[in-house]
Amino acid sequence: MIAKLLVDDLKQQYELIVKNRRHLHQNPELSFKETKTARFITDQLKSYGIEVHEQVGGNGVVGYIRVENPTKTIAIRADFDALPIQDEKNVAYKSQIDGVSHACGHDGHTSALLGVAKVLQENRQYLKGNVKLIFQHAEEKPPGWAKAMVEAGVLDDVDYIFGAHLASDLPLGRLATRVGPTMGSVDAFTIKLFGKGGHGARPHQTKDSIVVGAQLITQLQQIVSRRVDPIEPAVLTIGRFESGNAFNIIADIAELEGTVRALNGNVRKQIEDEIRAILDGFKVSSYIDYELDYLNGYPVLVNHEKEAHLVQQLIEDAFGENAYEVRQQVLGAEDFAYYLQQKPGVYFYAGSHNNDEATKFPHHHPKFDFDERALLNIGTIFLQLVNHYVIQEEQ
């Protein structure tokens, strides 16, 4: 059975996968600065004999394994940017870059896909279709640079696309996905309020931007609680409110930053419209002016039904019925959503913690780490998907 052969070959690559992961972990690069990482990926793919396209949509790298007269083309994606977080782990492969670390597992995603790439290239005689290996930069920066790679045409000849994420909240050996909306959209906004400053003893001569800002926050919090259907999950959070520079001066300018999350595109648009309407009202009632910078980031990540059921079946076939679980919806976001807007596919999760507390820290934590055997589980499902679509006949 070819699928078993591929998975067995992947297991033989485990030491290389770990070596690559730890190299990436020691040498993280922030979004849009991933030039050395992109070069490392390119060099690895070329050493396997794989066709490589560089600077796709920015720092993106695409490996392409082609065959004559392909039946289909399946794409698999991994991200490779790091985060502005100090690595606080006490391990030999700790980040060597001050203030930057792979605290979300993107180093693992990339090394897993490199392992899959090597296996597929070495067994390309079994392929009846093409495999496109998408290594994406800048996933962590809204609006998400999956969008730029899509605009660069990375999916133009693709029939299906799949991606995976390590999950520190799931134990090693458990994998999960779900049908339909799975991860939320994410928008970011900055509001500047322009009042009229003055002496703290003469408020009647001013237009107090701090008072207006405080009232604005209260109004904004009522959008979700009083204007959005309570059945629809949504969040509006103000993360920053800055104004003033002295105890006895009424500030003329206040600045707020926040984020909007939703699992329904219509609700997402409703909240943006409500924010704009509230600001227009404050302009009239409080005699202030404002500027709104509103960034529409990642859309809702929606897994396709047929492909989600297929991934569930492949997980159960590979690891047993108890290995699969339905993933809970979350309002965290992932720019893989852009790919799923264009082509059918699925984003799934691989449990990555074991009994060691060091593997149980949440993503984006300074001590985030994972059981590296989870990378074999990700690679196994990727290979099973390739087997399904471009080795055996699609069912």
288 bridge partner residues: none
Cα 393–chain centre separation: 31
Q: Which stretches does DSSP call E strand in the chain?
A: 51-56, 60-65, 73-79, 130-136, 160-171, 175-177, 180-183, 185-194, 198-199, 234-243, 249-250, 253-262, 289-296, 301-303, 324-326, 345-353
117: left (phi over 0), alpha (psi -120 to 50) or beta: alpha
What is the 3-class SS of 138-153, one letter each residue? CCCCCCCCHHHHHHCC
Cβ neighbours of 99 (radius 10 Å) = 12
- Annotated catalytic residue within 29, 81, 369, 372: 81
> 201 φ, ψ to 5°?
-85, -5
The structure tokens listed for 352 are 């990555």
Q: CA torsion 239→243→248→252, rounded to 10°?
A: -140
Cα separation, 306 vs 346, whole angstroms: 9
- Annotated catalytic residue within 29, 79, 107, 139: 139
Q: Is 255 a catalytic residue?
A: no
Q: Is 81 a catalytic residue?
A: yes
53 bridge partner residues: 62
Helix (H, G, I), strand (E, B) or coil at 389: helix
Cα separation, 88 vs 67, whole angstroms: 45
Residues 6+ apart with CB under 8 A from 204: none
Contact in structure between 32 and 58 (CB atoms under 8 Å): yes
Listed as own residue / partner, the contacts of 339-343 with beta carbons closer than 8 Å and 24 or more positions apart are: 339/75, 339/77, 339/146, 339/150, 339/155, 339/161, 339/163, 340/161, 340/301, 340/302, 340/303, 340/304, 341/299, 341/302, 342/150, 342/155, 342/161, 343/75, 343/155, 343/158, 343/159, 343/160, 343/161
Residues taking part in catalysis: 81, 139
